[in-house]
Amino acid sequence: MSTKISKLTDNDEEQKRHTKLTLETAPAWLFAFVVIATTYEVIARYLFMAPTVWANELSLYVCAIGYVYAGIYSMKHDRHLRITIAYDLAGPKVRLFFDIVQFASIIIFCAALCLYGFNEAWEALTSWERYGTAFNAPIPATIKPFIVICGAVMALYATRNFILKLAAFKAARTEGGNNADA
């Protein structure tokens, strides 16, 4: 009975931790802001016949930040997309192979993103490139460098995750002898 209570308490604490506004969870709350801005735009446009020039671009901007940051969040918690049925059914050696392929793919993608995106991001930042519409927000000037920075951070988290998985594989192998082949 006490283990059930402790599990409930742990789940409550976990829920509280996820709902607190932190640097890690703040981008998720940006989508609530987009809902408010979009609702305001719909009311202003269709009820008062006074559309805004900023709501659409602001929504694009805020969503772009949230989408890009979601990659970092997923990578930090090692919760990115994978074919879990194949991964869960595989033995430790096959899982290690999947992890190697995954790590190599992520590093290649992030390296290409950083290498080929850096010059364009730098140009957008130094020239303070704007969106080119009526509101003319500096979306490209800030989002392009943000994408490059997030790509680098994702590569660092992928490296950390791979090192942790490799260490766990080696520990399981030395702990269980050569039974890690199963």
pLDDT above 90 (res 5):
no
Nearest 10 degrees: CA dihedral of 135, 139, 140, 144? Answer: 180
- pLDDT mean over 59-67: 93
What percent of the chain clears pLDDT 90, i.e. is strictly above it?
63
pLDDT, tens digit (0-9, with 9 covering 90-100), for 165-182: 999 999 998 887 655 454
**Is 126 in contact with 134 (CB distance < 8 Å)?**
no
End-to-end Cα, the chain, rounded Å: 35
N residues, the chain:
182
41-49: which pairs have CB atoms within 8 A and are 24 or more residues apart?
Answer: none
Q: What is the mean pLDDT of the chain?
A: 87
Q: Which has the closest alpha carbon to 129: 118, 152, 145?
A: 145
* pLDDT at residue 109, rounded to an integer: 97
The CA-CA-CA angle for residues 113, 118, 123, to 5°, reads 140
- Gap between the Cα atoms of 28 and 177, Å rounded: 44
Eight-class DSSP state of 180: G
Instruction: Give yes or no for a contact between 131 and 139, defined as CB atoms under 8 angstroms apart.
Output: yes
Strands (E), 63-111: none
Q: How far is it, in rounded angstroms, from Cα 52 to Cα 37?
A: 10
69-123 pLDDT, tens digit per residue, is: 888 988 988 887 777 888 889 999 999 999 999 999 999 999 999 999 999 999 9
- CA gap 157, 105 in Å, rounded: 14
Q: Give the separation between CA 39 and CA 174, rounded to whole angstroms.
A: 58
pTM: 0.80
- Per DSSP, the residues of 108-119 read HHHHHHHHHHHH
Q: What is the phi/psi pair of residue 149, to 5°? A: -65, -45
Identify the pLDDT of residue 22: 74
pLDDT at position 16, please?
62
